[in-house]
Amino acid sequence: MGLLQDISGPLSQQLSQLSIVSQVGVVVAGLLFVSVFLNIFNQILFKNPNEPPVIFHWFPVIGSTITYGMDPPRFFQENREKYGDIFTFILLGKKTTVYVGPAGNEFILNGKLKDVNAEEIYTVLTTPVFGRDVVYDCPNSKLMEQKKFMKIALTTQAFQSYVPIIADEVTNYFKRSPDFKANAGIVNISKSMAQITIFTASHSLQGSEIRNKFDESLADLYHDLDMGFSPVNFMLHWAPLPWNKRRDYAQKTIAKVYMDTIKERRAAGKSDSQDIMWHLMNSTYKDGVKIPDHEVAHMMIALLMAGQHSSSSTSSWIMLRLASRPDILEVLYREQVETLGADLPPLTYEDLAKLPLNQAIIKETLRLNAPIHSILRAVKSPMPVPGTKYVVPTSHQLLAAAGVSATDPEYFPEPDLWEPTRWNKDSPLAPRLAKSVEDEEKIDYGYGLVSKGANSPYLPFGAGRHRCIGEQFANVQLQTIVAMVVRQFKLRNVDGSNKVIGTDYASLFSRPLEPANIHWEKREQ
Ligand code: HEM
């Protein structure tokens, strides 16, 4: 009897715990069912005819987050076919209105300051990475001044000094790298391109003192800083998680490296390179305040981070495209031999302008593989959409996806074909643009004249007040890297096919899936 009591005590406790768990389970399932039901009911019965159509979704909050995140371009394409150029979807609980096509790009990217806002969206991610008082951690008017300082530093004279620096970095990289020791081999090209991008950008934009530190501590610190840019940090940027702790430590340490370098340069009273740091150290805001050292340091971080992902992803795509089309790589090589001479003299800035195919490679790759697939803005006042009955309310955010028009057959014949020669005016595949970039209307948002980009279907560098200031630098950097690689290597796919690997959309910037292996072979010198 005693034994029976001993057993039945814990057993009855377990049974009652089980029944509590199952009751909770029933309640949760019931609540889920009700919320799914209400969500569907709401979508069917309460359509607002004055707002863009909402993409049907089963679950509230999650909405279309998963289908969007898996393949954003496909998501835009499919929903454009169903709903037209403007539609709304739920992204992590937020109503997000997508407006594609040239009119949509214009509506969002050239939106007025009183209507659209970038910093509200991006600051949670960027401020812990870049540091205080720069880019999205300051009023837009201050960002415009900061962009002006950075842009002014990127002069023709500066580019003339950068090309030999970049070319030497590329040559030395291939001499040093254990991945390129033999005469031929297979390499994960994304890894090599990430390293080449950081060495070339840091050396040219920030000077040799900073570049040399990348061989020591800076590379690992920048890697930790980079982890702060994962999309999950849109929600968890504040959380005391291991990667956020490493991000914060890296930010402080890197900023100190820059501030120490600034002090050393001030003490020496000069700099021997045409870099941006030197220029910013000697710039003054309109109100007469000199840029404080911590802001110079934080802008240096922002510049390197902004350029790193975009340029490194683009150069990887270029190498993958060339490996899929070795015939084009050979035409590129001949372009240099015929234009610059069989001895291939050291590359100069002026040489780049003489190599149209080398330039077109970058344009065409950015058309199909632009690293930024979505640009977000908060809506600050209700925005009527011209030519429609819609008004986008302030409870929505806006999403521009310039890649949609860049792959639209209306503007680009055979849009999925990577064909750099389409950028020749006489090509049957030439883009059908209303105006050439040179003829575009120009506007000054406070950081110098830029083409407005209105009605252009090709905007890999964005448009409006947040347009990229690194476009020219990126072109110089990428053209030089491509020219130097073509001089030294023949590339092909490992299986000899002309396939190109898929895209990884899991991080903020789209890039090739890894490992992005290609076969390389050194040219006979
Ligand atoms: C902004 C693309 C390289 C610095 C942007 C934007 C795009 C873009 C689309 C607009 C973002 C928005 O509107 O929210 C690219 C591509 C690159 C590249 C495709 C290379 C292939 C660079 C480089 C630098 C740079 C090398 C620095 C040297 C910036 C800065 C902004 C910007 C400072 C301004 C952000 C703002 O005003 O909100 N870029 N970029 N970019 N980019 Fe780039």
Distance 222 CA to ligand 1 centre (A): 18
What is this structure's pTM?
A: 0.92
Question: Residue 7 has what pLDDT?
Answer: 47
Other CB atoms within 10 Å distance of the CB of residue 433: 16
Closest ligand 1 atom to Cα of 314: 21
The whole-angstrom distance between residue 203's C-alpha and the CA centroid of its chain comes to: 21
- Sequence-distant (6+) residues with CB within 8 A of 217 are 253
Question: Is 138 marked within a binding site?
Answer: no
When divided into structural domains, the chain yields a total of 1
Q: Which domain holds residue 173?
A: 128-368+461-522
User: Does residue 488 belong to any structural domain of this protein?
Assistant: yes
Question: Which residue has a Cα nearest atom 3 of ligand 1?
Answer: 307
Q: Is residue 27 part of a domain?
A: no
CB crowding 104-125: b at 16 or more within 10 Å, else e:
bbbbbbbbeeebbbbbebbbbb
Residues with CB under 6 A from ligand 1: 118, 143, 147, 303, 306-307, 310-311, 314, 366, 370-372, 375, 460-462, 466-470, 473-474
3-class secondary structure for 453-522? CCCCCCCCCCCHHHCCCCHHHHHHHHHHHHHHHHHHEEEECCCCCCCCCCEECCCCCCEECCCCEEEEEE
Answer yes or no: is 41 within a domain.
Answer: no
Residue with tokens 């390293």: 195
- Structural domain contains residue 226: yes
Task: Kindly state whether residue 42 falls inside one of the protein's structural domains.
Answer: no
> Which tokens hold the place of 259?
């501030």
Chain centroid to CA 306: how far?
7
Q: Quick one: pLDDT at residue 1?
A: 39
Q: State the pLDDT at residue 269.
A: 83
The per-residue pLDDT for 433 is: 81
Mean pLDDT value across the chain: 92
Ligand 1: residue of 136, 310, 315, 363 to mutate (most ligand atoms within 8 A of CB) is: 310
Instruction: Give the SS3 label for residue 451.
Output: strand
Residue 386 lies in a domain: no
What is the residue with the minimal CA distance to atom 26 of ligand 1? 307
How close is the Cα of 517 to the center of ligand 1, in Å?
27
| Beta strands 449-451; 86-91: pairing state | unpaired
pLDDT per position as a tens digit, 263-320: 998 998 876 667 889 899 999 999 999 999 999 999 999 999 988 889 999 999 999 9
First to last CA, the chain: 95
Nearest Cα neighbor of 431 from 452, 463, 460, 396 is 460
CATH assignment of the domain containing 253: 1.10.630.10
In tens digits, the chain (525 residues) has pLDDT values of 344 445 456 667 776 777 787 888 888 889 888 888 888 888 888 889 999 999 999 989 899 999 999 999 999 999 999 999 999 999 999 999 999 999 999 999 999 999 999 999 999 999 999 999 999 999 999 999 999 999 888 899 999 999 999 999 999 999 999 999 999 999 999 999 999 999 999 999 998 889 998 877 788 888 899 889 888 898 899 999 999 999 999 999 999 999 999 999 899 887 666 788 989 999 999 999 999 999 999 999 999 998 888 999 999 999 999 999 999 999 999 999 999 999 999 999 999 999 999 999 999 999 999 999 999 999 999 999 999 999 999 999 999 999 999 999 999 999 999 999 999 989 999 998 876 666 677 888 888 888 877 678 999 999 999 999 999 999 999 999 999 999 999 999 999 999 999 999 988 889 999 999 999 999 986
How does strand 391-392 pair with strand 383-384?
antiparallel
CA-proximal residue: ligand 1, atom 43 (nearest) = 468
Residue 382 lies in a domain: no
Q: Is residue 435 part of a domain?
A: no
